[in-house]
Structure 1
Amino acid sequence: MQPISPTDSIFLLGESREHPMHVGGLQLFEPPEGSGPEFLRELADALLAQTDVQPLFRRHPAFFGGVTNVVWSSDKEVELDYHLRRSALPAPGRVRELLELVSRLHGTLLDRHRPLWEAHLIEGLTDGRFAVYTKFHHSLIDGVSAMKLMQRVLSTDPADTQVRAPWSLPPRRRDGTESTPASLLQTLGQVAGSVAGVAPSTLTLARSALLEQQLTLPFRAPKTMLNVRIGGARRVAAQSWALERIKRVKAAAGVTVNDVVLAMCAGALRAYLADQDALPRTPLVAMVPVNLRTEKDADGGGGNLVGAILCNLATDIDDPARRLETIAASMRDNKKVYSELPRLQQLALSAVLVGGVALSLVPGFVRTAPPPFNIVISNVPGARGPLYWRGARLDGNYPLSIPLDGLALNITLTNNADNLDFGLVGSRSDVPHLQRLLGDLETALKDLERAVGS
């Protein structure tokens, strides 16, 4: 049995029917020219033939001395035909029906008695494309690792007909060495060291937060309609934007691509909340995950190595250009504080910044207390060029993450060749008309283009 790290066990302990703790992804593929209706069946058969299942895809939590969520159990036999499933859309087979199916799939819990992942091959789209929806429990893998793993499944060569399954790919280290699991004592020692490691930097952090105001602190966000207790049903929305449009705004304003993305989201949230007569006077605050993995860390090895930055979204500012400037300054100041810390201290600081989410378990806390932040907006690195799977071109790659009590909406995106692909996940009963946010994102980008003259 392998110990579950404290970070990973949080996702297991925090899961309930109202709070499924898995991350997912929706991929849209254009079949290769000349392929027939049997293409997807043949692809499924080829995947099921990949029976060399790696340890990551055998794991589920086990009891250890009467306590669960402490160690992983590893199944010797994995029923691949349980984890890999085929579905067909009802008529008329539009993207609308696809998103409705994925909404239901994303709201259901994974079976704790089996390895914590599923993959769904979905056919029946009237335009001839097919879709793949996958989900992994967040205790098993984080979004960055999942994205890297899926990229290894695909190919840059449209003529490559080899079928690679994510569960059959061994972890890869850039230095060529094998990844060795940490013992339970090593894991506990690392956590204790990260907490103790913050102590020497306490004065520096306090100065940055309180005097220089470079560090955005939790519980300064306004209460909004998005910061409520949620149900377990989900609704998803997805859309792609040309990366070149975002890059033109970036160049004209002298900011980063991620700053422009955050400004798009801020403008969309401002319009959406205003339409609901629910826009607060003070600015919304976003939690922005940051990847803490280095080149020496294993690709596809599992676990979570993600930090957190809190960003002022400037939703109280009407002018899009000024809003973008404020967002860029907020991200720049917070990143400066992070850059002065070693990685273990970055993890410890991140735990402090996002730890308030755990207080949502306290009865009445979400209803009465200010939220630690209003929304999670995550930009996961993706592919820079076209990708193919047995000759089928990847048209869209939409990451789907986790709403929580007090955080009813999540926005995650990734770059996919010449596009940025956005995946929105909301609590079905608490975020009405989620699809309208896609139109608000387009309007926000047009406003930015006009404001900076791109």
Structure 2
Amino acid sequence: MPFMPPTDSMFLLAESREHPMHVGGLQLFVPPEDAGPQYAREMVEAFRQSSDVSDLFRRRPAEPVNLLGTTWWSSDETIDYDYHVRHSAIPHPGRIRELLQLTSRWHGSLLDRHRPLWECHVVEGLQDGRVAVYTKVHHSMVDGVAAIRLMQRSLSKDPEARDCLPPWLVQPRSRSVAMRRGLDPWGIVRSGADVVGDVAGLVPTGLKIARQVVRDHDITLPRAPKSILNGPVGGARRFAAQSWRIDRIQQVAKSSETTLNDVVLAMVSGALRQYLLEQNALPDEPMTAMVPISLALRADAVGPDGADRGGGNQVGAIVVSLATNRAHGATRLEEISYSAKQAKKIMGDLTPTQILALSAVQMAPLALNPVPGFVRYTRPPFNVIVSNVPGPKEDMYFNGARLDGMYPVSIVLDGQALNITLTSRKDHIDIGLIGCRRSIPHLQRLLQHLEDSLVELEESWG
């Protein structure tokens, strides 16, 4: 019965009916040419056949789930596939709209802590013949980057391959290798010494950062204006998703001498500005975004054999100004790019442990959100979370079915009623918006505003 690290258990401790703590993904697949009318059913049956489930997807909180279940993992020997893998169909007329409505409902329901913390829904009935797969996994098991990596490793670049396995049958390259080999006391001592060194370095690092903030006055601090995005949330969710060609965003980045991430943040800025103007709710001060940084993508977070760490949570964060007080897209992009550079400059010389510590300080106010009245009467540390998870750079297939959409579905919290997550996929960027159904009315309008914002940037930097 393995110990649960605090970085993982906090997602179980923070969970409630209003705050489901799972991450998800909605994938769209174009069936192979030889697929018959029962293709979706055959996919479900194939998903349910194997008993060789990875250790990660056998985990569940230990009994009793509300006590030991936030400290230790238990493991199920057998998996109830009829529960975990479900076959669904969307109603007529089978538009993406109906699919997103189903996804919204599924993502708003809690996972059963008496079972391994994951579900998969295979969905047929789309009018264009595609098959959808929605999967959700508790954040205590994986972060967004780890989830995307597991999904990628279940796919193949070869359209003729027929040996692909679903993510729960893929053994993650992770710390579980060390667990299988037994406890390494000397490794613990070495790791402890490294941590002590990192923590000791936090004091001079913190003083250096403070001096830079005072001297330059150009660091975006975790203190944002109040907005309708930053109130208490209910348990119901609304999900919206759309794809954009990546070359459009890259061309703006090249012309403006900024980065792809900067342009995406400028799209978000323009979309939020227009949306809030429609609601007569745009703050006078510039809004800000918390942008997670995956430490799993850093060289020092990869093992000597080149393997990543698989499950768990390895995420830092920076806060970036969205310049929503600026009317012109080009000006917003310039200010966003500068703010991001300054935030990354601070992080540049830090170790992963120090980045985690600094990120924890920036996100610390979120821990007080459950306190009655805290969200209503205090300013948020940031207005919205915008995550970018790298995806596959080539066409990918699952047993001949081509991946045609990969939309992340993340988490909303009290004080953070909207979460925007995107992932790249060869020639496209797929963006998923998840929001509190009560706090964010007409969430789907943000999709059109994102497009309008990109068009404005293209016209400015064409």
In the superposition, the TM-score normalised over structure 1's length comes to 0.95
Counterpart for residue 349 of structure 2: 340
Counterpart for residue 45 of structure 1: 45
Counterpart for residue 368 of structure 1: 377
Shift of the 362–127 alpha-carbon distance from structure 1 to 2, 3 Å rule, reads same
- Residue 243 (1) aligns with residue 252 (2): no
CA distance in 2, matches of 1:17, 1:55: 27
CA distance in 2, matches of 1:107, 1:300: 29
Which of 316, 326, 338 is the matching residue for 2:335?
326
Q: Deviations over 1:65-91 (max 9, x none)?
A: 954401111112221221111101111
SS for the counterpart of 2:390 is: strand
In the superposition, the TM-score normalised over structure 2's length comes to 0.93
Shift of the 324–408 alpha-carbon distance from structure 1 to 2, 3 Å rule, reads same
Counterpart for residue 216 of structure 1: 220
Counterpart for residue 412 of structure 1: 421
Q: Is the 8 A contact 1:179 1:301 kept in 2?
A: no
Q: Is the 8 A contact 1:194 1:347 kept in 2?
A: no
Which of 366, 371, 375 is the matching residue for 1:357?
366
Counterpart for residue 108 of structure 1: 109
Shift of the 36–273 alpha-carbon distance from structure 1 to 2, 3 Å rule, reads same
Counterpart for residue 291 of structure 1: 294
SS for the counterpart of 1:3 is: coil
Q: Is the 8 A contact 2:198 2:351 kept in 1?
A: no
Aligned-residue offset at 1:183 = 7.2
Counterpart for residue 386 of structure 2: 377
SS for the counterpart of 1:352 is: helix
The 4+ residue runs of structure 1 with deviation greater than 6 A are 181-185, 190-193
Aligned-residue offset at 1:194 = 5.3
Counterpart of 1:336, as a letter, is: K
- Residue 70 (1) aligns with residue 79 (2): no
Q: Is the 8 A contact 1:308 1:350 kept in 2?
A: yes
Counterpart for residue 200 of structure 1: 204
Which of 437, 443, 446 is the matching residue for 2:452?
443
Counterpart of 1:412, as a letter, is: T
Shift of the 273–260 alpha-carbon distance from structure 1 to 2, 3 Å rule, reads same
CA distance in 2, matches of 1:437, 1:289: 21
CA distance in 2, matches of 1:168, 1:162: 12
Q: Deviations over 1:11-42 (max 9, x none)?
A: 11000000000000000111111311122222
Aligned-residue offset at 1:213 = 3.5
Q: Deviations over 1:325-352 (max 9, x none)?
A: 1000010010010011111101100101
Q: Deviations over 1:173-216 (max 9, x none)?
A: 6xx99444897995995877654441231211211233223542
Aligned-residue offset at 1:361 = 1.2
CA distance in 2, matches of 1:311, 1:260: 13
Q: Is the 8 A contact 2:252 2:458 kept in 1?
A: yes
User: What is the aligned residue count?
Assistant: 450
Which of 315, 324, 328 is the matching residue for 1:315?
324
SS for the counterpart of 2:133 is: strand
Shift of the 191–409 alpha-carbon distance from structure 1 to 2, 3 Å rule, reads farther
CA distance in 1, matches of 2:351, 2:372: 36
* Structure 1, unpaired ranges of 5+: none
Moved more, 184-193 or 295-304: 184-193
CA distance in 2, matches of 1:379, 1:292: 13
Counterpart of 1:277, as a letter, is: N
Counterpart for residue 388 of structure 1: 397
Counterpart of 1:325, as a letter, is: E
Q: Is the 8 A contact 2:286 2:325 kept in 1?
A: yes
Aligned-residue offset at 1:142 = 0.4
Counterpart for residue 227 of structure 1: 230
Shift of the 210–179 alpha-carbon distance from structure 1 to 2, 3 Å rule, reads farther
Identity %: 54
